[in-house]
Amino acid sequence: MSHPMLHEVGLPGKGGRWEDLPNHRPHGRVKPAMKADTHPTYHPAAKVACACGSTFTTGSTMEEMHVEICSACHPYFTGKQKLLDSAGRVDRFKKRAERTQVAAKKRTSRATTAAPAA
């Protein structure tokens, strides 16, 4: 069963008009104004400074940005592998790996010397 109002007015294309339907909004209607100050200020020439020393401009809501890595120094863009050492983690890992290898060699040397000769 269809809406009774549509039978009274008729469907568009069959003698009826959209303007006659309930809740129709014509195209010329003025929309309510947007709230003021809802969006941040856009800076089309924001300055970006990288830790590698590279600087460039871009559009942003911040006037200045300081980044650790950019396209000038990122391995994906440069094609060079580069270890980023934050707080000496790489050095600590290498020392730990070296101690593990030394301990493993000591265990194998003890096992071979402790075995009785037949």
Q: Is residue 46 part of a domain?
A: yes
Q: Is residue 16 part of a domain?
A: no
Q: Is residue 115 part of a domain?
A: no
CATH number for the domain harbouring residue 55: 4.10.80.400
Q: Are 51 and 69 in contact (CB under 8 A)?
A: yes
Helix (H, G, I), strand (E, B) or coil at 65: strand
Q: Label residue 47 by pLDDT band (50, 70, 90).
A: very high
Give the separation between CA 20 and CA 9, rounded to whole angstroms.
7
Residue entry with tokens 């402790």: 114
Q: Is residue 105 part of a domain?
A: no
Mean pLDDT: which of 1-5, 46-50, 68-72 is highest? 46-50
Q: Label residue 28 by pLDDT band (50, 70, 90).
A: low
pLDDT at 49 over 70: yes
pLDDT of residue 14: 54
Q: Is residue 52 part of a domain?
A: yes
Chain center to CA of 75: 18
Torsions phi, psi for 58 (to 5 deg): -155, 175
The whole-chain average pLDDT of the chain stands at: 76
User: What is the average per-residue pLDDT within 30-35?
Assistant: 70
Q: Is residue 57 part of a domain?
A: yes
Q: Is residue 65 part of a domain?
A: yes
Q: Is residue 74 part of a domain?
A: yes
Q: How many domains does the chain have?
A: 1
In which domain, by residue range, is 68 found? 40-82
Torsions phi, psi for 56 (to 5 deg): -155, 170
Q: Is the pTM of this model over 0.75?
A: no
